[in-house]
Amino acid sequence: MANLSTKYMGLNLKNPIVIGSSGLTNNLANLIEMEKNGAAAVVIKSIFEEQISLETEKLMKDKDNEKIKDFSASFGNYENASDSEYYEAYSYILNHAKDQTLNDYLKFIADAKKAVNIPIISSINCVSAYNWHYFARKIEEAGADALEINLYILPSNLARSAEENEQVYFDVVEAIKKVVSIPVSLKLGFYFSSLGQSIIKLSKTGVDGLVLFNRPYTPDIDIDKFEFNAGNITSHNYDYAQSMRWVGILSGRLDCDIAAATGIHDETAVIKQLLAGANVVQITSTLYENGYEQIKKIVDGLENWMKSKNFNSIDEFRGKMSQKNIENPAAYERVQFMKLYSKIE
Ligand SMILES: Cc1cc2nc3c(=O)[nH]c(=O)nc-3n(C[C@H](O)[C@H](O)[C@H](O)COP(=O)(O)O)c2cc1C
């Protein structure tokens, strides 16, 4: 029998299939099904700072809210308060709202730990350095096995330089690594002025894993209604190639593990990512499309392929096709279709 076990950020995994963060990982029954079908670890749904801010705003508007009444009793009517009083009121309510949402999230981590035996990776998506500290510590205390930072800066603010945008990633990792001892991964998008170099630098920050790459929400235009709508929510099975290229280029050059993500829908894509050098893969869209049985299909498919090639362990072939290990490293860098074009009429 082939041994599919592997390590990711120091976590011992029974195979390299990690379930990516999504609405599917926000529910205990789903986590149990994922484990039953062979998932090696799960990244639970991100807690979003926007979500917390929205709840805070709602709370602020809710004049009948007990906490606001409590606050008014002790500090007077916050609407007529001086700036400093208002500030105190605001931070009081803000912290209360934060705790409410966070407590639900923390309870979910603790419940998930009880419901399944596989590692539970928490996920946070924030935009402010202060909150990252706060959330990270609480998540560790709740029992998460690792923490994934979901940070995606769309460089759409035309007044901000590449350096300013990119510095945020370093600041956030530094802030979080300072306060937690569980492994920390950083899930990235493609938007860096010099992608390869930035990723190499990020791998040297002490981060334990890099998830390459997240797939952002992209708006689309309805040409009849002249409205915006959500673009494709799920990825296509050919979208793995972009991630595979960078996994292949960076494998063996980073000071941390790599989780390949986006467009990995079947065992073939998993095998390609492992050959390119990934430590694990994350899958999401394929579960929306094919159900949890797809996990078992992928794990069985990987094992059968290993047997057919006489590989006894993942380490025997991981990175075999990375840029460092192939005779023609340019294979990963070709971006023009010159040869292909000349053959296509
Ligand atoms: C419906 C849906 C919800 C998602 N929610 C999150 C999330 O909360 N946090 C996160 O880091 N990624 C989230 N993602 C992104 C996935 O984790 C994954 O990175 C992305 O879908 C690309 O992988 P895939 O091609 O296997 O789907 C979500 C994806 C989908 C489709």
3-class SS shares of the chain: helix, strand, coil, % to 5 = 50, 15, 35
Average pLDDT over residues 235-245: 96
**pLDDT of 301-338, one tens digit each?**
999 999 999 999 999 999 999 999 999 999 998 877 66
Per-residue confidence band for 217, with pLDDT thresholds at 50, 70 and 90: confident
45 lines ligand 1 (CB under 6 A): yes
What pLDDT, on a 0 to 100 scale, did the predictor assign at position 152?
A: 87
Domain 6-343 class, CATH top level: alpha beta
What pLDDT, on a 0 to 100 scale, did the predictor assign at position 72?
A: 44
The residue that leads in pLDDT, 41 or 83, is 41
| E strands, the chain, in order | 6-8, 11-13, 17-19, 41-43, 47-48, 120-125, 146-150, 184-188, 209-212, 219-222, 227-230, 257-261, 280-283
What spacing in Å lies between the alpha carbon of 179 and ligand 1's midpoint? 26
Find out whether 43 and 123 touch, Cβ atoms under 8 Å.
yes
234 lines ligand 1 (CB under 6 A): yes
Nearest CA among 287, 208, 203, 199 for reference residue 243: 199
Ligand 1 binding pocket mutation candidate from 48, 233, 267, 284 (most atoms within 8 A of CB): 284
pLDDT surpassing 50 at residue 40: yes
Per-residue confidence band for 231, with pLDDT thresholds at 50, 70 and 90: confident
**pLDDT of 68-80, one tens digit each?**
555 444 434 444 4
Across all residues in the chain, what is the average pLDDT?
A: 88
User: Which DSSP state fits 325?
Assistant: G
Question: Model's pTM, two decimal places?
Answer: 0.89
The residue that leads in pLDDT, 179 or 68, is 179
**pLDDT of 261-277, one tens digit each?**
999 999 999 999 999 99
Domains in the chain: boundaries: 6-343
Per-residue confidence band for 159, with pLDDT thresholds at 50, 70 and 90: very high
46 lines ligand 1 (CB under 6 A): yes
89 lines ligand 1 (CB under 6 A): no
Ligand 1 binding pocket mutation candidate from 17, 18, 21 (most atoms within 8 A of CB): 21
The span from the CA of 244 to the CA of 242, in Å, is 5
Q: What percent of the chain has pLDDT over 90?
A: 66
What spacing in Å lies between the alpha carbon of 215 and ligand 1's midpoint? 7
What spacing in Å lies between the alpha carbon of 233 and ligand 1's midpoint? 9
243 lines ligand 1 (CB under 6 A): no
**Which amino acid does the sequence have at 32?**
I
pLDDT surpassing 60 at residue 243: yes
**Which amino acid does the sequence have at 145?**
D
Q: Is the dihedral of CA 153, 200, 25, 294 positive or negative?
A: positive
